[in-house]
Structure 1
Amino acid sequence: MTTADGTDRPAPPPDGDAAHASLALLERLADKLGARASVTAVYGESVTRDGVTVIPVAEVAFGFGGGAGRERGSAKTGEGGGGGGGVRGRPCGFIEIKDGSATYKPIRAPWGDVVMPLAALLAGTAVPRIARRLAVRRAR
């Protein structure tokens, strides 16, 4: 169907095909956004300098959901619709190619290197003290 402004748009679905129209819309959105959701969108292109090539590695995920509705009945009227989606990208690391060998170098979060060991140390010292105090209170 061509609109007054000359753009092509899909023909409106028959009354019983609202769910199919929603599904078709979500599929088109997923195709278009999925083609753009890539490692280059998160990190950029690979770089080669001084004989070293760095290739970015990223995790890219997307999800979509939608719905449709229609009220059946002689006195009741209704319409429906809805949809949503999201894309997430996270850099994971990079591959370094140097002198004929490739090495993966992960990007690590400081939480795993600093905060988690400190939390484990704190829990390791606090839990025995709390257990002793509870045992003393129960003995009284």
Structure 2
Amino acid sequence: MGNHPIEALMKTTMESLKDMVDVNTIVGDPVETPDGTVIIPISQVSFGFASGGGEYHASKSNRRTGEDTEAGDKMPFAGGTGAGVSVQPVAFMVVGNGQMKLLPVDQNANMIDNIINFTPKLLDKIQSMSEKRGEKKSNKTVIQTEVIDD
């Protein structure tokens, strides 16, 4: 299979993305403070890539010149590629004084994490409360049946 023009477009775009995004983009360069604490930025990287193209069929006769095209002529190709990259800081890793902390940038995200972590405990409490109420009610439960004769 011969090289198609879209392959060259895709290769160029992917190589450019590879040059822009590497592991140092996600985990940034460490910064050392005067007291010896090291701060490492951590980012979220998102990227998208699109490529497309098409070959356009030429008629047997060229409309402008009126000349016939040969059967072996290549069809004209039109194509394009595009890519987008988004780098968003999400946290800072702080290492110093014998400990390591991960400080999230978005406080709302931290609040959501806390809610998610607290949810199982809350469900356990609700379940235990309903079980206790169920035990109290089970002593008072009355089952009533009716028989209807036709």
For normalisation by structure 2, the TM-score amounts to 0.50
Distance 1:112 1:53, change over 3 A: closer
Does 1:61 find its partner at 2:46? yes
Does 1:33 find its partner at 2:17? yes
Matching residue of 2:86: 88
Does 1:46 find its partner at 2:30? yes
Structure 2 spans left out of the alignment, 5+ residues: 62-74, 112-150
- Which amino acid is the alignment partner of residue 58 of structure 1? S
- Structure possessing the higher radius of gyration over alpha carbons: 2
Q: Which SS does the other structure have where 1:81 is aligned?
A: strand
- Which amino acid is the alignment partner of residue 97 of structure 1? V
Shift of 1:41: 5.7
Distance 1:97 1:112, change over 3 A: closer
Indicate the RMSD between aligned Cα atoms, in angstroms.
3.3
Deviation >4 Å, runs of 4+:
38-44, 109-113
Distance 1:96 1:111, change over 3 A: closer
Does 1:23 find its partner at 2:23? no
Aligned residues: 97
- Which amino acid is the alignment partner of residue 31 of structure 1? E
Shift of 1:112: 8.2
For normalisation by structure 1, the TM-score amounts to 0.53
The structure showing larger relative contact order (alpha-carbon pairs under 8 Å, at least 6 residues apart) is 2
| Percent sequence identity over aligned pairs | 29
Shift of 1:89: 0.6
Q: Which SS does the other structure have where 2:10 is aligned?
A: helix
Q: Is the 8 A contact 1:34 1:62 kept in 2?
A: no
Structure 1 spans left out of the alignment, 5+ residues: 1-15, 114-140
Cα distance in structure 2, aligned partners of 1:71 and 1:36: 34
- Which amino acid is the alignment partner of residue 68 of structure 1? G
Match of 1:79 among 77, 80, 93: 77
